[in-house]
Amino acid sequence: MAVVFYVILAVIVLIPLILVLLYNSLVRSRNMVEEGWSGIDVQLTRRADLVPNLVETVKGYAAHEKSVLEEITAARTAASSAQSVDGTREAANQMTAALGHLFAVAEAYPDLKADANFRELQTQLAETEDMIQKARRYYNGAVRRLNTSVEQFPGNLVARQFGFDRAEYFEIEDPASRALPKVDFGG
């Protein structure tokens, strides 16, 4: 009889303990996703902050390339106003394409390619693109962990009960946008 009592007591103690551990694991995973998203946001903001200087430098050499400069400005506006993962992904794709067009235009201006300010901005942009890629990898890893926890048993029971949902990956869907803008004009 005493054995049955201890088994029932163990079950009564273990079930809440397991639930608490699962809940805490889900909270930790959600916080990692939020931290990862913050990292992406910081790097995208840094890239957007570099753009006005880049545009001003290019304007001095290629003022008649108005459509490309307007495309960059529109992409920057979209990036700063994005509110969701999908919106941010679209804005990032738009910015990458616009920067690609800008650097293609810059190819036609040897004096621009030789400008020290332009080269410095290119270097900073290349570094920022690398940091964006690292932030995306971290974020997507955190999303994978959260999504796995939300979907696997018994975590899915706790997740459903406490309102934990799957998170969206931050992926670039357009294969042409996967290429980083060309930023090396040193040759």
The pLDDT value given to residue 136? 93
Q: Over the chain, what is the mean pLDDT?
A: 84
Nearest-angstrom CA–CA distance, 133 and 94: 16
Q: Is residue 147 part of a domain?
A: yes
pLDDT in tens, 144-171: 999 999 999 999 999 999 999 999 998 8
Q: Is residue 43 part of a domain?
A: yes
pLDDT in tens, 49-104: 888 888 888 877 776 677 887 888 888 888 888 888 888 888 888 888 888 888 88
Number of domains comprising the chain: 1
Nearest-angstrom CA–CA distance, 20 and 26: 10
Q: Is residue 101 part of a domain?
A: yes
Token readout for 129 is 């693109």
- Give yes or no for residue 175 having a pLDDT over 70: no
**pTM summary value:** 0.76
Q: Is residue 144 part of a domain?
A: yes
Which range marks the domain in which residue 152 is found?
Answer: 2-178
Q: Is residue 183 part of a domain?
A: no
Nearest-angstrom CA–CA distance, 169 and 36: 11
User: Residue 68 is part of a domain; what is its CATH number?
Assistant: 1.20.1440.20
Q: Is residue 115 part of a domain?
A: yes
- What amino acid is encoded at 56 in this protein? E
Q: Are 42 and 135 within 8 A, CB to CB?
A: yes
Better pLDDT: 110 or 20: 20
Q: Is residue 186 part of a domain?
A: no
The pLDDT value given to residue 64? 66
- What amino acid is encoded at 35 in this protein? E
Better pLDDT: 84 or 28: 28
Nearest-angstrom CA–CA distance, 63 and 130: 29
**Running DSSP on this structure, what letter comes out for residue 62?**
-
Q: Is residue 185 part of a domain?
A: no
Describe the crossing of helices 85-106 and 66-81 by its angle, rounded to 10 degrees: 160
Nearest-angstrom CA–CA distance, 100 and 176: 10
The pLDDT value given to residue 177? 47
Give how far Cα 9 sits from Cα of 13, 108, 129, 158, 176, Å. 6, 79, 56, 22, 61
